[in-house]
Amino acid sequence: MTEPERQTHFGFRTVDIDAKQDLVDEVFRSVATRYDLMNDLMSAGLHRAWKDVMVTALNPPKGERPFSLIDVAGGTGDISFRVVEAGGPGTRATVCDINHDMLAVGRERAFERGLDHAVEFVDGNAEALPFPDRRFDAYTIAFGIRNVPRIDKALAEAFRVLRPGGRFLCLEFSTVDVPGLDALYDFYSFNVIPPLGGAVTGDAGAYRYLVESIRRFPRPAAFADMIGAAGFRRVGVRTLSGGIVALHSGWRL
* Whole-number Å distance between alpha carbons of 123 and 244: 30
Q: What is the CATH number of the domain that holds 19?
A: 3.40.50.150
| Digit-coded pLDDT (tens) for 103-152 | 999 999 999 999 999 999 999 999 999 999 999 999 999 999 988 889 99
Residues ≥6 apart with Cβ < 8 Å to 210: 27, 193, 197
Strand partners of residue 7: 16
Domain span holding position 137 = 4-252
pLDDT of residue 11: 46
CB 71 within 8 A of CB 95: yes
Which one has a higher pLDDT value, 186 or 5? 186
Per-residue pLDDT for 3 more than 50?
no
pLDDT of residue 8: 53
Per-residue pLDDT for 81 more than 90?
yes
Tell me the residue ranges of DSSP E strands in 17-161. Answer: 67-72, 91-97, 119-123, 136-142
Q: What is the mean pLDDT of residues 76-80?
A: 94
Q: How many domains does the chain have?
A: 1
| Digit-coded pLDDT (tens) for 194-243 | 888 778 777 777 778 778 888 888 999 999 999 999 999 999 999 999 99
